[in-house]
Amino acid sequence: MRDAYIVQAVRTPGCRRGKGAFAQTRPEDLLVTALQGLMERAKVDKKVVEDVMVGCAFPEAEQGLNVGRIAALMAGFPIDTCGATVNRFCSSGLEAIAIQAMRIQAGWADVAIGGGLESMSIVPMGGNMPRPHPYWAKQKPDVYISMGITAENVANRYKITRQQQDEFGYHSQMKAAEAQKNKMFDEIVPTKAVKYVPQPDGTLKKEEFIQDFDDGVRPDTTLEGLAKLKPAFAAFGSVTAGNSSQTTDGAAAALIMSEEACRKYGVKPLVKIVAYTVAGVEPDEMGVGPAYAIPKLLKMTGKDMKDIGLFEINEAFASQAIYCAQQLGIADPKEWTVDSKTRRINVNGGAIALGHPLGCTGAKLAAQLVNMMVKKGVKYGVESMCIGGGMGAAALFELVEKW
């Protein structure tokens, strides 16, 4: 079996649903920017890309109709570059990367793109017309329950306190603020955004501007302020807006090649995609997914937790991220706090600060992880997330040191 390499990975900024810079920007335009920025940075001709596969958690309305194919054509790829859309909820973007990697490993392709997209401003959580199966919903209602309730279930069942969750949320914000200050997010492609401004005559004026930073980071966050927030999902719960992921708009993409293609086109790859796996868990505590997916991944690849230099574990909620860290043996504060120089988990902050644009997140975290593996010279990095419906996903990347 051949090896598959990421030669470049980028993302747009992540911007707050409804209130952020991309609230009125069409999702296809976000994805087009990511695709064009990807190819410009890779310095590879678009005509060599065989397929563009895009993850999207709610592929409907503006981000429906096979947005993978539509955006590829909008971005200037030739007609014979194909496109597809894939959905595994929160790991959709990583799923797209993994599928393209497997196609390359199997010899079915040489150059492909895996990416992710979600506009949570334009397409609401759950979609525009959710219609659960009436009979199945009686047998297994947990498949359809709020993700916030699953986070409360994890907190209650595994004794994750409100204080622990708020501390985790605080450090996510502080790490992200520090990273922005130090200009660590090299993977971001400056992205054109639009807004429609009401005019005195009742018309709307379209204004365009460039957004080049994640606009949900709150550097003024305090533990005292977080403690004052009311529970968001249960009257006497512990899960709040301050210790949950931000709902966000964004897009991301990764260019993947075989070794033969890298040499043919004179490209030095950044990382090798070693393995990807998924694990099933109970839907009513879906947040525990990484605690099962990561050990499965490590067993597949013969690696140990101590071998992994960086982790990107999606912070859907602090309760589940903390529980997973505990189960994986990496819950010590030195692994994740802003004042630890040896931290390995979400070193530049996670989704609590940077946002969780659902179908985009898997590709977004890949871009962040690859960027930091290159910066720090880290040999192995793991990306993982929980998935709505009761799953976890995890992928292992290996730094290309010699070429």
Which domains, ranges and CATH numbers included, belong to the chain? 4-125+169-191+244-396 (3.40.47.10)
Helix or strand or coil: residue 403?
coil
For residues 312 and 384, is the Cβ–Cβ distance under 8 A? yes
Q: Supply 19's token pair.
A: 């209130």
Q: Is position 90 annotated as part of the catalytic site?
A: yes
- Please give the pLDDT value at position 28: 98
User: Which residue in the list 56, 262, 324, 356 is annotated as catalytic?
Assistant: 356
Dump pLDDT digits (tens) for 165-222.
999 999 999 999 999 999 999 999 999 999 999 999 999 999 999 999 999 999 999 9
Dump pLDDT digits (tens) for 261-296.
999 999 999 999 999 999 999 999 999 999 999 999
- Please give the pLDDT value at position 312: 98
User: Which residue in the list 15, 56, 262, 386 is annotated as catalytic?
Assistant: 386
CA-wise closest residue to 253 among 366, 146, 385, 148: 366
Tell me the CA end-to-end span of the chain in Å, nearest whole number: 19
For residues 394 and 277, is the Cβ–Cβ distance under 8 A? yes
Helix or strand or coil: residue 149?
helix
CA-angle at 182, arms to 374 and 92, nearest 5°: 55
pLDDT under 50 in the chain at which residues?
none
- Please give the pLDDT value at position 273: 98
Quote the crossing angle between the two packed helices 289-301 and 318-328, to the nearest 10°: 40
User: Which residue in the list 90, 262, 324, 360 is annotated as catalytic?
Assistant: 90
Q: Supply 287's token pair.
A: 């947040």
